[in-house]
Structure 1
Amino acid sequence: MSSTVSTDAPEAGPLDRPEQSTMASRVRRKLNTRVASVVSIIIAIVWTIPTFGLFVSSLRPENDIKTTGWWTFFKNPSLTLENYNEVVFGTSATSGQLASYFINSLVITVPAVLFSVSLAAMAAYALSWLNFRGRDWIFIGVFALQIVPIQMALIPMLKLLSGFTDLGGGFFAVWFAHTCFGLPLGVFLLHNFMSELPKDLFEAARVDGAGPAMTFRRIVLPLIAPALASLTIFQFLWIWNDLLVALVFTQGVDSRPLTVRLAELAGTRGNDWQRLTSGAFVSMVIPLIVFLSLQRYFVRGLLAGGVKG
């Protein structure tokens, strides 16, 4: 009685193909299809059209923008920089006078972002890798703060900071408010990122004699650069575009940002469309520069920890 033994190798199962079984490879295959590419292009075009229309309108003469739509620009091209000159550097009461408000926005946004991101990074490191009593409960409390609406905290915060409105040239209150409101989300995001770091790195640093501060500075910060960039972009866009906190915690023209002035222009000079469009585009310049300069880190920060393999 003869028997035949198959010499063919068994077909590789799903577990024998780690590359195909990972979430990253499945997502990559779906996003690399022709349909996904076409859909992405369509979404990008649709998303860009309003911004392009706003930019074209901001460069058109006053009479053209009030009588025809921006899409008619291609039939009768006519450009002018008078709108920007008037809305930024104009000195009359009816002009935008955005130059000083633009500086105020920078003075508010940059320190508030630095304070919130740096404090969130240190707090996330402590809650991730330092052992102390009540650590988990503190993290739960920080996480729970995200569900508290900002509107509920405005009055208590304003009463708390009522005696400090003159510090920092009138900007201390809004710095403090933005930092407090941005910490819960920042700590939560960075904690999730730091907790995925290899434990062996911290053990090796401890063996080499590095303390918590040196470990944080020399090891953790370089590894979480993508997450820090992502959080920086989120915080910058949120603070730069904020209107509510700016209205509550800033006093007078000397400390109010662009968003407050644009709201005033829309309410009192709503018919001056050429000023509104140019003013709106002025407020978009800095966020666009920040996002485009940090976009590669932004993508890494969003994907890091989300997929493995």
Structure 2
Amino acid sequence: MTATATAPVTPPAAAPAPPAPRPPRHRPRRLRRWLGNGLVQAFLLVVGLVWITPVAGLLLSSLRSAQDSASSGWWTALADPGSLSFANYASLLQNAGMTQAFWNTVLISVPTTVLVVVIAALAGYAFAWLEFPGRDWLFLLVVALLVVPVQVGLLPVAKLFGQLGLFGTIPGVVLFHVAYGLPFAVFLLRNYFAEMPREMLEAARMDGGGEWRIFTHLVLPVGRPAIASLAVFQFLWVWNDMLVALLFADSSSQPLTVELQSQVRQFGSNIDVLAPGAFLSLVVPVVVFLVFQRHFVRGVMAGSVK
């Protein structure tokens, strides 16, 4: 008997190896390298000096006497720092109109910011995670209100406030700012809250948490950067506003911006009052921004990097 020869079994061809993944691009490193360039740093330094020069000029002018300001420019104080003093600020504190206007600005800006943030946070959570009839249509109405300019509502609202007895009062100015600040605030917080993971909220509901508890103990802490950004934006807008206050506030409720404009119109050259008042109006928003800077940057950058 002859044995039959068997053909050798060839192993199956190996599947081609998948292509190696591309290494991730390190854009932040590139950006840091680009910003580390000496030419770029020099350019940024020049931009910063140009930006800070008016502020430095205002500060030096507020520390100079009226005679020195009338005879020479503020930059001459750099060669004679002994001529600077805080006498103008002492006089400013004795100016009843300026001090009353400063406190009026605080009484307008702080309640407006608090009311806008609280109402917008509640409405933003409702539009993002609560189901109720007409939710989408109401949100579209809020978005549509963003395109309505402030100037359109000045005269009709002024007439309405006159009938309600709110014209020329601080509550009237606050109510107007709250009404026109809410559409943007609701739009901003709703979009931020909607980006939160649904699983996180469902897990909280499964653990027995109610909507109010979820909102106060989960949504608000997570949404702190966006809320801080909104608070800074709203405070700066109201603090620096003059158009609304010029129309809706009278002489007893006008803020610092209107009082400064009135001082310019009445006296014209009283730089010893205008310069410290203007610098005081400038430094408060700067302090607020520095206090909330960390949360503000996180809120602005939220959603831009995945």
For the criterion TM > 0.5, the same-fold answer is: yes
Distance 2:18 2:129 in 1: 45
Aligned residues: 289
Structure 1 counterpart of 2:183, one-letter code: P
Q: Counterpart in 2 of 1:297?
A: 295
Q: Counterpart in 2 of 1:306?
A: 304
Matched, 1:89 2:87: no
Long gaps (5+) in structure 1: 1-8, 92-96
Q: Counterpart in 2 of 1:188?
A: 187
Matched, 1:56 2:60: yes
Given the two structures, how large is their TM-score scaled by the length of structure 1? 0.86
Q: Counterpart in 1 of 2:4?
A: none
Q: Counterpart in 1 of 2:147?
A: 147
Long gaps (5+) in structure 2: 1-16
Q: CA deviation at 1:26?
A: 6.3
Distance 1:89 1:164, change over 3 A: farther
Distance 1:225 1:30, change over 3 A: farther
Q: Counterpart in 2 of 1:157?
A: 157
Give the secondary structure class of the aligned counterpart of 1:305.
Answer: coil
Q: CA deviation at 1:238?
A: 0.6
Q: Counterpart in 2 of 1:107?
A: 107
Distance 1:298 1:275 in 2: 33
Structure 1 counterpart of 2:278, one-letter code: A
Q: CA deviation at 1:120?
A: 0.9
Distance 2:243 2:19 in 1: 62
Deviations 1:245-284 (A, max 9, x none): 112222332x111111001012122212232211101112
Confirm or deny: 8 A CA contact 1:164 1:172 kept in the other structure.
no
Q: Counterpart in 2 of 1:94?
A: none
Q: Counterpart in 1 of 2:271?
A: 273
Confirm or deny: 8 A CA contact 1:113 1:236 kept in the other structure.
yes
Q: Counterpart in 2 of 1:66?
A: 70
Distance 1:12 1:67, change over 3 A: farther
Distance 1:43 1:165, change over 3 A: farther
Confirm or deny: 8 A CA contact 2:93 2:99 kept in the other structure.
yes
Confirm or deny: 8 A CA contact 2:245 2:255 kept in the other structure.
yes
* 203-212 or 222-231, larger mean C-alpha shift: 203-212
Confirm or deny: 8 A CA contact 2:59 2:276 kept in the other structure.
yes
Given the two structures, how large is their TM-score scaled by the length of structure 2? 0.87
Distance 1:36 1:196, change over 3 A: farther
Distance 1:83 1:250, change over 3 A: same
Distance 1:268 1:197, change over 3 A: same
Using the aligned pairs only, state the percent identity.
43
Give the secondary structure class of the aligned counterpart of 1:274.
Answer: helix
Distance 2:198 2:275 in 1: 52
Confirm or deny: 8 A CA contact 2:240 2:257 kept in the other structure.
yes
Q: Counterpart in 2 of 1:174?
A: 173
Q: Counterpart in 2 of 1:6?
A: none
Q: Counterpart in 1 of 2:9?
A: none
The structure with the larger Rg is 2
Distance 1:150 1:250 in 2: 16
* 78-87 or 55-64, larger mean C-alpha shift: 78-87
Confirm or deny: 8 A CA contact 1:108 1:171 kept in the other structure.
yes
